[in-house]
Amino acid sequence: MAVHGNTTDSGIKTWREESGALEIALTPGSTALAEEVRTGLVKTPKRLSSRFFYDAEGSRIFQEIMHTPEYYLTRSEYEILENHKAELLQLFVADQRPFDLVELGAGDGLKTKILLGFFSEQQVDFAYAPVDISSDALDGLVADIQRQWPDLRLKPRHDDYFNSLHQLSAESDARRIVLFLGSNIGNFTPEEALDFYRQLYDQLLPGDLVLTGFDLQKHPAVIHAAYNDRQGLTRAFNLNLLRRINRELDANFDLASFDHYEVYNPETGEARSYLVSQKSQTVEIRALETTVPFQYGEIIHTEISRKFTRSQIEQLATRTGFSVSGWFTDCKGYFADVVFVRN
């Protein structure tokens, strides 16, 4: 589960409706969901992307999850940014140039506001460029920042990650500091993570920085509990994906006939979330004019959340053209915010 803001789009894949693939009138968001459902539920095993968790209800549930005792990720990263904001600033202004603070998947900017407030107090010459595919989230964030820091220069982008970086580089020669917080990188496969940083490398100049949040490997019981809270909020969050499909694609998923299941494998560092069919059943998805059969116990894979070791993070930097220039953890060593510099 990614933890930053109201949306978790990876920024790698661009989801477009193929010509003639859908005959019905759908909103842009529902069109992407329709394509995901159409292709994902015929795979073996069935799968749906976690990027579709975050409709209004999913975002509301996730806000509750972040406050559960078991879900350490948000608190850990908040602690890091609060305790190390001065050290981060020293890295960001090391070359004495103005910088653009570009946040990929900005969401509600909860943790980033720690940095914005501190940098503003220090009268740093910078602009904040939040990037998000959710126009509602982006508009809300911009309005909130304008209320709190009316003099802060803003460059919001309602676009995908790499288009936004390309546009910003064409507009300004300021140093770019890219934020990718909340362990969103954990939702990528190893191959996708390599591809992501290689694309970042191509969009940045020598000396530009990337600050990424990584959830670190730790006692398996701690990780398992984070995705199986006693209140059942994570279960509700996962099942809400089916509710969204019912609403937007006129489907008839019976939520009582599916359950949430999560497993963490300490050998691979992967926490995987599933929806499990509790009986043999057939679901009708009327907007796609199709039916989907489920066997008893059949799964829908909805999310992967990878946990990292320090050596894996350092190898990721080296293999994609970066070097590690800063490493910051919370007091328990659960989470790391790591600064990569573009060589």
Whether pLDDT at 29 is above 90: no
Same domain (yes/no): 295, 187:
no
Residue 226 lies in a domain: no
Residue 271 lies in a domain: yes
Cβ contacts of residue 179 below 8 Å, gap of 6+? 101, 102, 103, 104, 112, 211
- Cross-strand partners of 290: 285
pLDDT at 211: 98
Pairwise CA distance, residues 199 & 104, whole Å: 13
Distance of CA 261 to the CA centre of its chain: 21
Pairwise CA distance, residues 185 & 304, whole Å: 10
Report strand pairing: 335-342 vs 209-215. antiparallel
Q: State which H helix or E strand residue 60 sits in.
A: helix 56-65
The position carrying tokens 């499909």 is 245
Please give the structure tokens belonging to residue 283: 């679901």
Same domain (yes/no): 45, 146:
no
Same domain (yes/no): 63, 78:
no
pLDDT in tens, 53-112: 988 898 889 889 989 999 999 999 999 999 999 999 999 999 889 999 999 988 888 899
Q: Which amino acid is at 83?
A: N
Question: pLDDT band for position 132 (50/70/90)?
Answer: confident
Pairwise CA distance, residues 52 & 60, whole Å: 14
Report strand pairing: 270-277 vs 209-215. unpaired
Residue 21 lies in a domain: no
Q: What is the mean pLDDT of the chain?
A: 90
Residue 165 lies in a domain: yes
C-alpha triplet 201, 206, 212: angle, nearest 5°: 50
Pairwise CA distance, residues 170 & 147, whole Å: 28
Same domain (yes/no): 200, 332:
yes
Same domain (yes/no): 132, 175:
yes
Same domain (yes/no): 336, 201:
yes
Pairwise CA distance, residues 273 & 227, whole Å: 8
pTM exceeding 0.85: yes
pLDDT at 23: 41
Mean pLDDT of the region 325-330: 98
Residue 27 lies in a domain: no
Question: pLDDT band for position 42 (50/70/90)?
Answer: very high
pLDDT at 173: 87
- Which is more confidently placed, 23 or 42? 42
Say how many domains are in the chain.
2
Residue 299 lies in a domain: yes
Residue 176 lies in a domain: yes
pLDDT at 91: 97
Question: pLDDT band for position 7 (50/70/90)?
Answer: very low
Same domain (yes/no): 113, 135:
yes
Contact by Cβ (8 Å): 276, 298 = yes
Same domain (yes/no): 107, 198:
yes
Pairwise CA distance, residues 219 & 37, whole Å: 35
Same domain (yes/no): 276, 300:
yes
Mean pLDDT of the region 237-264: 97
- Which is more confidently placed, 286 or 13? 286
End-to-end CA distance of the chain: 31
Same domain (yes/no): 78, 62:
no
**How many C-beta neighbours within 10 Å does residue 314 have?**
17
Same domain (yes/no): 39, 159:
no
Residues of the domain holding 164? 74-218+315-342
Mean pLDDT of the region 281-309: 97
What's the CATH number where 325 sits?
3.40.50.150
Same domain (yes/no): 159, 302:
no
Residue 20 lies in a domain: no
pLDDT in tens, 214-236: 999 999 999 999 999 999 999 99
pLDDT at 169: 84
pLDDT in tens, 9-19: 333 333 223 33
